[in-house]
Structure 1
Amino acid sequence: MKNGIKALLLICAVLVGGAAFGQNLKFGVINSQEVISKMPERDSAEAKLMKLRNELGSQIESLQVELNQKYQAFVQGRDKMADLVRQNKEKEIQDLQQRVQEYGQNAEAELSKQQGALLKPIVEKITEAIKAVGKANGFAYIFDTAVPSLAYYDTTMAVDVLPLVVKQLGIKDKPAEKPAEKPAAPSKKK
């Protein structure tokens, strides 16, 4: 909220200052997430993340299978176990359950870390392209609509610089996917 207010005050100051000097400020907007979706590098990053997700998932799955097997064996034989053996088995199951839970948390953290590492060069490349487009086309500001700090922009006053940034990056625009056609509704005859 504070950042939004600061941004609004900054924009107002710039607009008032610009009007006082008779400058015609040019504002642009872009959705950086849309640019990321068009980047060819994104596909390889997603493939690497999917591979890691599958590896980590299979490890969690095998730990879970081991836990389930030990638990089932314990349930079936606990009535025949001596107290000390039963307590030992209960502790063993609890420890394994804790390991499964910790591994799951560590796996999520690792996925997040890898995602950040894989997206960082893509985001940096986009940031540099946005800066180049801004300078080359005389924009005073370019706002990223993917970041929720921008509450409003007048589409007649702001220019969407997505096509310029995509061109700057040399990305060939993929054809839009056609939605699946719905089968025609049966006609009702009277």
Structure 2
Amino acid sequence: MKQLKTLLIAAVLFVSASQVATAQAKSAHVDVSEIMSKMPAMLEAQKQLEKLSQTYQADYKTMGDEYNAKLKKYAAEVDSVSQKMNEERQKEVADMEKRIGEFGQTAQKELQTKEADLMKPIEDKIKTAIQKVGKAKGYQYVFNSAGLLLADGPDLTVDVKKELGF
């Protein structure tokens, strides 16, 4: 009976020890924002977005300048034209305001869409590289160090950059 108790205690200890060993998964961290900020594809995407943004800003400024010129002209001529002409001009100015507002909203949406289209493949490439490096080094978990309060484990940022070719 004593031997059975000893055997049962040994079995429980063995099972407990194996569970503790498997619970200690290997983890590392990587600084995704650092990788993205230095990745050549990301820098190119930023240039494309900046160029598109500047185009929209120039168009918006042209529309605004045209609007302001008409307002100034119409204000100077308000007393010299008919009431009917002033009403038509007010309608024209209101239409211009509407077009300018719609243009601003459309431009913003198109910039967001373009940004998403450019970022998706970059993010996918980084994720794939992180997974490849993490698996090659035997890590079960790789965390983004941007949200970590304590990053005591290995930093794979340099390895991921090498995997991405920069």
Aligned to 2:159: 164
Shift of 1:19: 7.6
Question: Which deviates further from its counterpart, 34-43 or 20-29?
Answer: 20-29
Q: Cα–Cα, structure 1 residues 151 and 131, in superposed 2: closer, same or farther, change >3 Å? A: closer
Aligned to 2:21: 22
Shift of 1:155: 2.5
The one-letter amino acid of 1:88's match is: E
**Partners of 1:124 and 1:43 in 2: CA distance:** 16
The one-letter amino acid of 1:155's match is: A
SS of equivalent residue, structure 1 residue 22: helix
**Partners of 1:32 and 1:117 in 2: CA distance:** 19
Larger of the two Rg values belongs to structure: 2
> How many residue pairs get matched?
150
Shift of 1:130: 0.5
Moved beyond 6 Å, runs of 4+: none
Contact 2:145/2:151 (<8 A) preserved: no
Q: CA RMSD in A?
A: 2.0
**Partners of 1:29 and 1:122 in 2: CA distance:** 19
Aligned to 2:65: 65
Query: Relative contact order (C-alpha < 8 Å, sep 6+): which is higher?
Result: 2
**Partners of 2:134 and 2:84 in 1: CA distance:** 73
Aligned to 1:50: 50
**Partners of 2:124 and 2:35 in 1: CA distance:** 12
Aligned to 2:86: 86
Structure 2 residue runs of 5 or longer lacking an equivalent are 1-15
SS of equivalent residue, structure 1 residue 160: coil
Question: Which deviates further from its counterpart, 28-37 or 125-134?
Answer: 28-37
Greater helix fraction, Structure 1 or Structure 2: 2
Shift of 1:69: 0.7
Aligned to 1:106: 106
SS of equivalent residue, structure 1 residue 142: strand
TM-score, structure 2 as length reference: 0.82
Question: Which deviates further from its counterpart, 63-72 or 73-82?
Answer: 73-82
Aligned to 1:155: 151
TM-score, structure 1 as length reference: 0.72
Give per-residue Cα distances to partners, 1:111-165, cap 9 Å, x unaligned. 111111112111111010000011111111111234xxx463x332x22211111
Q: Percent identity?
A: 30
Aligned to 2:141: 141
